[in-house]
Structures are given as C-alpha cells and as structure tokens.
Chain A
C-alpha cells in the first residue's frame, strides 16, 4: 500500500522535481530507518509541492539538511520521504552595513561564516561540523555550541523566517530588521522544532562585527572543583568571553590534542581591541592562578581556531561518536554539583564519562565512549534515569542526543516536556493535521 502511494506520489510530481529524485543512502537513514525516496527541492515552491502531494497521499516526510544530527529526537514513527534541502543554498541578500543576512536554509554555517568573514562579520553561534551542517538543520535542532557570546541562543540571531507547512502553505514572519514587533514571531515554533511543524526554507539573521582580536587561554587543573570554581569566577567577572568551557579528563583524552595536557581543562576564548584584550588576558590569568592550575597555555591564530573546532565537533566526528550522549541544561551555578555526581555515578558503573560544559550557559554534554560489547545495557538505563532525576530536582532538563534505539524507545529522549505536552500536541495537529512531518519525534502521534 505504502509502495503504491509512493509510486503515485512520484507520478504526480512536476518534471523539475522528478529530475531531482535520488536513491536513498545510509546518510539519509534515521535510527536505521531508510526512506523510500529522497527529494531534492531547489526552491521554496518545490518544497510546497512535495509537502502538499505527500500529505495528500499519507506519506511521511523528514526534512534533512547536512544530516549531521539526524538521530536527535525520538525515532520517526514512519519515514517515507527524505526531503534534502542542501540545494537551497543561496544567499538571498546580504547588506553588511545593516548587520543582516538572508539565506536559504540549505546553506552550511561554514559557508555563511566565510561570506560574513569577508566583511569582518560573523554569526555569534557555533554548531558541530559547520562545513556540512546547514543553517536550517542547526536551527531545527536549536541547541547552542560553545560560542555563546552574551549568553545568546540560536533563537537570538534569527530576525525572520520563511516556512512551508505540510499543506503547502508558504508563510513568512519577522523580517530583516533588528527590531520588529509586527505579528507573531512564528520562527520560534521552528527553532528547536526538529522540522515537526514546518520546513524552514529561508532565514534572516542578525550578524555581528567580528572581534578585532581573539586569543584563547587553556588552563589545566588537577581537580574538577578548582577548574569549575575558576571558570565560574571568570563568568562572574566583567570579562566578556566568546566561549568559556570546562572539559573533564575523559573528554580531554578523547579530544586528542597533542598540545593539551591531561587534566581538568578550562578553555577561555577572549576578544577585544588591543588594550582591552590585553587587560582581559591579564585578568583571566590572575583569576585562574588563584585556583592553582598546573599550567596555563595561550593560543592564538589558527591554533586556537583548531582547538575550538575540535570542541565544537566533539561527539559528532567519526572518532568521537559516543555510545550514549545527553545534553543537560541547568542554572549555571548548579552545574559544578551535577558534574561531580555524574562523574561518580558513571565511574561507579565502570564507565568513564566525557563531560564538556558551557560555563555560564549551564549546558553539560555528557558522553560515554568505547563501550565493550559485553556490558550490561541496563547500566545505561540506570545512568540516564539517575541523571534525569538529579537534573529534574534542580529544575533543569535532560535530552538524550545519542543512544541505541532500544534505549531511546524505552526511555524516550525528552525529559521535562510532559507538562506542556498538550500545547505541543495542539500545535502539531493544527499546523500539520495530516501528520506528515517528522512524526513522533517529540511526542507519539495519537494513532501509534
């Protein structure tokens, strides 16, 4: 039956879309589910046609960008068509003097940053594998990387968005200006929405002047408490940082950077004009020394870019792909306490956690690597449940970003959205009544 619908769907497509059908590959699979078709729209109208025709035939569509984080979210309940958006990769408008750029959603973050860089501008966001990750995909996932300047989130850089809904409706909200209170900010439904409500096709973004100078200090500490307290002191100072990360020994080992010594690491990315940057370096050095680091290294130029690239990509490259990964969000001061508990709970179970934390932003990335085949899988369920309990008690949230499918299905990847499940369900049913888009990724559809 499904096959018949797919054939009928293909027949119904206009010739320009038919010409851009491709065969599904492993890269299009989500939690080992492979679609029947891969569509490669080249315009917003193509997206509209695909969605309305798929929706009329009961086919289920998953929008795909660079495919770097496809497994985030619950396993799709049905996956017929992969809609690959990488052909929508144009810059629609860029006016450096207006601090605004409008791009198609399939453009990679790397390309956007490179274009902005020509005018000494950038987007103050980061994402793993930015040469492959598309802006649409990054926004659909909606989580921040280490670059959290002024504690900003993905949502803080978006000023406008064009989206396509499953009935083919093309709609925009916001615009290209920095301040705008004209109607509802519909983009907020789609940032972090995992493409479950609509497909992001075009985005306007607020860009920022690139810092005149940057430098990175990396301090190694013998213990987690000193490292965390040193980084919190920096967070509470008047020093503005581009990034401030704590990395535990398990993650340092896996990062595998020759110039970095083993231990508990604090990495601080500083910026400014000549005098102010020098002041920041001096002040951060002085704060760090109060906590008696084993050493402090200074990195500039390409060296510092390379280390931050490694931190951005951590957990997503083939050599750092974790067996289990969780993203935890907490009020910043509670992070230290939770880090300690996570470390001891995991070690007690005979596993080594790799922890990477954005200080001040309150995000912990928890990874477990290199798991032996004979390990008791129940241990992971226990670690996840213990972590969720611990985090929930401290008013935070935990999301499983990577895990074997059995664990994802058994525990569900989201925690902390149960209270607003009703609103999520209403939004989904109103904007995607045919249940076409990425079904079951947040909450199970009623039919399941």
Chain B
C-alpha cells in the first residue's frame, strides 16, 4: 500500500523527522481511548494547512486511507487507522492564531488543547464553553470531529454551537473556509455538516471559535440521596421547572463506592446517588435560581445538600465527579464506558432498567452521567481475563444503547459512533436515513479515503479482519483490547 517512493514524497512535504513508519513508533498510534486498536502504515505530522493539503493530494493519488488524529482521547475508535494508511497527527498544528476579545472569537489550529484556549483568553474575561471531561488533553480538532460536549453544555450547548467557521482540507486537497467570522453565513451550512462528522468528510485545519464572557458568579450544590430514583426524579423536575443550570451531573452508589476512598469527597456510605449542580450568571440570578433548585431537591428527601462556600469547596465537590472514572479501577480491572442519551423524563425508568440489566447478568455497572441533558455514561465493570465477562460486557453495552434508542434517545451524546457503535446505526436509522448520509459522504469524499469504515455499519461478511466490537468478541482473552 505504501512504498518507499511514497514515504520519500511524504518526507518531502513535512520533513523526514515528521514521518514515522518504524514499528516502535507506530505502536504508540495504534489506539485511542476506546476499545479498539489497529496500526497505521505511516504516521505523518504536518504543521500547516498547506502541508495537510499536499498530504491529502498524495493520499488521493495513491488511493490510501487518511485518518486525522488529535490527542486520541476519543472513546469510539474514531482516531484509529483501522484500514492502515496514513495517520495524520495534527498535534504540531497547535497555535492560537488570533484572539479577538472585542468580537469574542479566537482563531485556532486543530491541535490546540481545549483547556489551553480557555486559559489563553481568561485575561480577557472570556472562555470557551464546551468542556469535555478530557479537556486537559483533548484538542479542538478532535472536539470538532466528535461535536464534543461536557458538563457545562447543558446551558451553553455543544461544540457546533460555538464554532463560527472552519478551514478544511477536502479529499481533493483543496483548502476551503466554511463559515467565517460572522454569526450568520448564507447558504448550506457546510460548517455545521463537518462538525461531528468524525473526520470522514474533511480535515479541519483551523477553526474560528466563539468565546463567551465568564460568569460573574458561580454556585455549586451537591445533593446526596438515598436512592437513585429520588435523584433521577429531582433532575427531571429541575429541568421541567424552568431552570437550566450550567451543569447537572449525577453518580450512582457504585461510582460513589469507587470515588469516596480515592478522593475523600465526604459522600456517606449509604448514599444511593449524588447530584452535582452548578448555577452561573449574575450574582442575583445565581442566588434566586439556587434557592429554587434547592426547593425542588428538597422535595425528594435528600440525605444532605451541600453548597460550596468558596472555590476550594467547589473544587472538592467536583473532585468526586471528575475522579469517578479513574476510581473505577478500584472495583474491577476493566470498564467499558457507554455513551447514550435519553430524554430526561425517562431517566428514572432507564436508570432502573440499567440496574436490572446489571443484576440479571451479574455484572456491576457504575453510572456517571450528565443527568440534565440525559447523557448517560454507564461503566460496565469486568475483567478482560475472563473471556465470558468480556463478551457479556460488550453485549450489555449494546443492550443499553438499544434501550436508549427505544426510550427516544440516541446512540451517542458526545463520544461519536466511530468503530464502536457503527453496527448499531441501523437500530436508530432506517436504510433510507443511512442512504442520505452516504450521499453526503460521496459528495465530499468520493473515493472513501477519509477515515474509512467509521460511522456507517459494515456488512457482517466484511467484519472479518477488521477491528471493532464484533471482531473483538471473537478475540476475547489475551487479544482482547478492553
């Protein structure tokens, strides 16, 4: 697929030191944050849009797949070069090109780390709202590819609501701008089409991001409930009562059991669920809304409600939530993190069904969720050394995603479909739905070179030799990557 001549041409574009094709180098690029792994044939690290354009033209000339990659924190296999080919690591393109505090936007390259942008604009009293849990590591390019969310997207929206324009390199190597520095742009919203397309339609090489003013006041509340149902019902009522907090996060008993010994957040042993709520805005509105939220929470008989008195307190309350996934290692050697969404009014029913599934299969599931917008993250705990458990974890994951769809939700809230969930797409979309999406893919990538094999379901007979869940089931044991 990739011969010496092509390697030389790649080196001519970016420099010899930025083309990696030794086994020892490639191995570090074979996985992302998901369950799958596959080695690219070559890794190339461009530093400009022009270089990306030249690389894209080479990929097209040689008919080689090209997969863009940021920090590889994605959880659905989106940044894995499943079919080999060129893996385009965009981490060298990490410049903040321009900050315009008056017009409240920044122009950045795709390799800029999410949190670093907020830090850079902080002196102007601004920040970038989408805050995925991996924001200390994940890149803006990856966020755009996955239309990432985060706890504070409840009030402010997800990535697509904060991107004004993008510079992209399309499959033919052309560099184009979709959207611009203004809030409105006439015609088809090509900017919007690219966001969340998981690198399958174009490669983003610059982005103009909307910045928002930092809130004057922030208040964080922690409500501890005896039962998950009480906490779930409190969430649904807060949302239904006309208050949209900036964030509304929840953890169940198992997650608490893992977190408490690790971070000592002070959760009682008998807690069935904790609810973390953040209210932001003018100090008067924060006071007024906090009062209203407390009133609703009180109706569901919390064991305790704590309100952070200062930033230190606030950080402590968040520490439990932020440390939850890391702490799960205390309960089991492996976890498989699911990302489904449901309408918030179905929270009680779905959470209780997940508990039933867990009990039925005798496999623990810890739940950490962006409860306010119904984005569930059940973590199925298992031991990869036990092949049956691995198989079961995968099956349960699928069952939970189907449950989300059955209850009016979606397969993914913020992790994307990637390889992980592609076989479930027909569960949510009809053949005709997928046909129209395929047409779009053909418009922008007629040779299917951009991140091939992602999003769309693969025919069962084509799964042989590919990575992904279905093939992992047959590779349980030492070869399982979970």
Q: A residues engaging B (CB < 8 A)?
A: 95-100, 120-121, 142-144, 148, 150-153, 155-156, 163, 165, 169-173, 175-186, 188-189, 191-193, 197, 208-210, 212, 236, 238-240, 272-276, 278-280, 327, 329-334, 361-363, 395-397, 399, 414, 416-417, 419-420, 423-424, 426-427, 430-431, 442
CB of B472 closer than 8 Å to a CB of A: no
| Chain B residues whose CB sits within 8 angstroms of the CB of A332 once the complex forms | 102-104
| Chain B residues whose CB sits within 8 angstroms of the CB of A334 once the complex forms | 103
Tell me which of A98, A143, A156, A426 contacts B345 (CB under 8 A).
A98
Question: Is there contact, CB below 8 Å, between B440 and A186?
Answer: yes
Known contacts A182-B417, A423-B176, A427-B188; decide if A329 and B342 are in contact (CB<8 Å).
Answer: no
The 8 A CB mask of B174-187 against A (1 = contact, 0 = none) is 00111011111111
CB of B65 closer than 8 Å to a CB of A: no
Given contacts A274-B288, A275-B284, A362-B182, 12 further A-B contacts (CB under 8 A): A153-B184, A156-B161, A175-B410, A176-B343, A176-B408, A183-B455, A188-B192, A209-B241, A272-B282, A276-B281, A399-B186, A420-B187
Can you pick out 14 interface pairs between chain A and chain B where the beta carbons lie within 8 Å of each other? Answer: A153-B184, A178-B373, A180-B341, A181-B413, A181-B415, A182-B417, A183-B437, A184-B197, A185-B147, A186-B437, A273-B285, A417-B187, A424-B188, A430-B440
CB of B460 closer than 8 Å to a CB of A: no
Question: Is there contact, CB below 8 Å, between A420 and B176?
Answer: yes
Bound Cα distance from A414 to B147, whole angstroms: 29
Question: Is there contact, CB below 8 Å, between B186 and A192?
Answer: yes
Bound Cα distance from A236 to B214, whole angstroms: 11
Known contacts A180-B413, A181-B412; decide if A329 and B184 are in contact (CB<8 Å).
Answer: yes
Max chain A C-beta neighbours (<10 A), residue from B184, B243, B287, B289: B184
Tell me which of B187, B189, B216, B437 contacts A442 (CB under 8 A).
B187
Closest CB of chain B to A134's CB: distance in Å? 20
Question: Is there contact, CB below 8 Å, between A276 and B284?
Answer: yes
The residue of chain A having its C-beta at the shortest distance from the C-beta of B201 within the complex is A184
Tell me which of B104, B373, B410, B435 contacts A169 (CB under 8 A).
B435
- Interface window among B149-157, B256-264, B305-313: B149-157
Question: Is there contact, CB below 8 Å, between A427 and B147?
Answer: no
Question: Is there contact, CB below 8 Å, between A179 and B414?
Answer: yes
Closest CB of chain B to A128's CB: distance in Å? 16
| Chain A residues whose CB sits within 8 angstroms of the CB of B414 once the complex forms | 179, 181
Q: B residues engaging A (CB < 8 A)?
A: 100, 102-105, 146-147, 149, 153-154, 156-158, 160-161, 170, 176-178, 180-193, 195-197, 201, 210, 213, 215-216, 236-237, 239-244, 281-282, 284-285, 287-289, 341-345, 370, 373-375, 408-417, 421, 425, 428-430, 432-437, 439-444, 455
| Chain A residues whose CB sits within 8 angstroms of the CB of B373 once the complex forms | 177-179
Known contacts A175-B408, A426-B443; decide if A396 and B285 are in contact (CB<8 Å).
Answer: no
| Chain A residues whose CB sits within 8 angstroms of the CB of B183 once the complex forms | 144, 148, 151, 153, 329, 361-363
Bound Cα distance from A330 to B241, whole angstroms: 37
Question: Is there contact, CB below 8 Å, between A210 and B182?
Answer: no
Tell me which of B237, B239, B433 contacts A171 (CB under 8 A).
B433
| Chain B residues whose CB sits within 8 angstroms of the CB of A395 once the complex forms | 180-182
| Chain A residues whose CB sits within 8 angstroms of the CB of B105 once the complex forms | 331
| Chain B residues whose CB sits within 8 angstroms of the CB of A420 once the complex forms | 176-178, 187, 190
Question: Is there contact, CB below 8 Å, between B428 and A182?
Answer: yes
Max chain B C-beta neighbours (<10 A), residue from A192, A278, A419: A192
Closest CB of chain A to B79's CB: distance in Å? 14
**Cβ-closest 6 pairs across A and B:** A188-B192, A97-B240, A209-B242, A276-B285, A98-B343, A179-B413
| Chain B residues whose CB sits within 8 angstroms of the CB of A423 once the complex forms | 170, 176, 188, 190, 443-444
| Chain B residues whose CB sits within 8 angstroms of the CB of A208 once the complex forms | 244
Question: Is there contact, CB below 8 Å, between B193 and A189?
Answer: yes
Closest CB of chain A to B65's CB: distance in Å? 19
| Chain A residues whose CB sits within 8 angstroms of the CB of B284 once the complex forms | 272-273, 275-276, 278-279
| Chain A residues whose CB sits within 8 angstroms of the CB of B154 once the complex forms | 178
| Chain B residues whose CB sits within 8 angstroms of the CB of A191 once the complex forms | 189, 192
Question: Is there contact, CB below 8 Å, between A238 and B287?
Answer: no
The residue of chain B having its C-beta at the shortest distance from the C-beta of A197 within the complex is B188
Max chain A C-beta neighbours (<10 A), residue from B154, B190, B284: B284
Closest CB of chain A to B349's CB: distance in Å? 13
Question: Is there contact, CB below 8 Å, between A331 and B103?
Answer: yes
Tell me which of B187, B244, B417 contacts A424 (CB under 8 A).
B187
Bound Cα distance from A172 to B196, whole angstroms: 16
Question: Is there contact, CB below 8 Å, between B187 and A192?
Answer: yes
Tell me which of A150, A173, A183, A275 contacts B288 (CB under 8 A).
A275
| Chain A residues whose CB sits within 8 angstroms of the CB of B182 once the complex forms | 329-331, 362, 395-397
Question: Is there contact, CB below 8 Å, between A172 and B416?
Answer: no
Bound Cα distance from A269 to B453, whole angstroms: 49
Closest CB of chain B to A335's CB: distance in Å? 10
Known contacts A100-B343, A177-B409; decide if A155 and B192 are in contact (CB<8 Å).
Answer: yes
The residue of chain A having its C-beta at the shortest distance from the C-beta of B282 within the complex is A276
Known contacts A169-B435, A273-B288, A276-B281; decide if A181 and B196 are in contact (CB<8 Å).
Answer: yes
| Chain B residues whose CB sits within 8 angstroms of the CB of A280 once the complex forms | 282
| Chain A residues whose CB sits within 8 angstroms of the CB of B191 once the complex forms | 188
Question: Is there contact, CB below 8 Å, between A178 and B281?
Answer: no
| Chain A residues whose CB sits within 8 angstroms of the CB of B180 once the complex forms | 395-397, 416
Closest CB of chain A to B60's CB: distance in Å? 16
Closest CB of chain B to A365's CB: distance in Å? 12
| Chain B residues whose CB sits within 8 angstroms of the CB of A179 once the complex forms | 149, 153, 158, 341, 370, 373-375, 410, 413-414
Closest CB of chain A to B102's CB: distance in Å? 5
Bound Cα distance from A183 to B439, whole angstroms: 13
Closest CB of chain A to B354's CB: distance in Å? 17
Bound Cα distance from A278 to B375, whole angstroms: 35
| Chain A residues whose CB sits within 8 angstroms of the CB of B243 once the complex forms | 209
Question: Is there contact, CB below 8 Å, between A397 and B186?
Answer: yes
Closest CB of chain A to B464's CB: distance in Å? 24
